[in-house]
Amino acid sequence: MNMQGLRTAGRDFHTLLKVILAELNIHPISVDNGVFVFLNKQSLILLAISADDILIFTKYEDFFNKIKTKLNAAFGVTSQQGSIIHYLNYQIIQSTRAISIDQSMFILDIINHYIPANTKCPKIDTALRTDRQFDKEILESIPVSPSELK
């Protein structure tokens, strides 16, 4: 690939992706060309795109497979599915009640890379608990109800 092709590769990928998704009636939102939406059976399906990484939010496996097949024909894809997935530097944990997004593993990698293991660090209090049990409690908690949101 020449330098000109390398400079336009991201734009070319995004242009082709927009065409493929438009064929499935999936379009970018007006305020962010990296977020695409589709209404399926009264449910909103979202696609978030960062460079060549795509995150699809849907509860419809048949629709996910349709998108995956179409993209695979054009690009070749690898995918993750499940209750815990990793996207960019995020860990996304899904349950029947909620979705949790965190970067704790990424942060630990940075700390372990830049701070030697035998370094004595002072203990610092935080506003929230940071133990793993707290993460589990949050994951299993009931999301805010519509009346509480009001």
Alpha-carbon span 17 to 27, nearest angstrom: 10
Q: Is the pLDDT of residue 109 over 80?
A: yes
Residue type, 81: Q
pLDDT band at 144 (very low <50, low <70, confident <90, very high): low
Q: Give the per-residue pLDDT at 26.
A: 86
Which of 23, 24, 13 shows the shortest CA–CA distance to 58? 24
Alpha-carbon span 10 to 14, nearest angstrom: 6
pLDDT in tens, 65-104: 888 898 888 887 888 788 888 878 888 887 777 777 888 8
H or E element that contains 5: helix 3-23
Alpha-carbon span 44 to 94, nearest angstrom: 17
Please return the burial class of 45, using the count of CB atoms within 10 Å of its CB with bins 0-12, 13-18 and 19+: buried
25 vs 9 pLDDT, higher one? 25
- Supply the pTM of this predicted model: 0.57
- The domains of the chain are located at 1-79, 80-142
Q: Give the per-residue pLDDT at 111.
A: 85
H or E element that contains 55: strand 53-57
What tokens does 57 get?
């939010």
Residue 81 near residue 60, CB atoms below 8 Å: no
pLDDT in tens, 17-34: 888 888 888 888 888 888
Residue type, 10: G
Tell me how far CA of residue 136 lies from CA of 27, 40, 48, 52, 143, in angstroms: 36, 31, 26, 31, 14
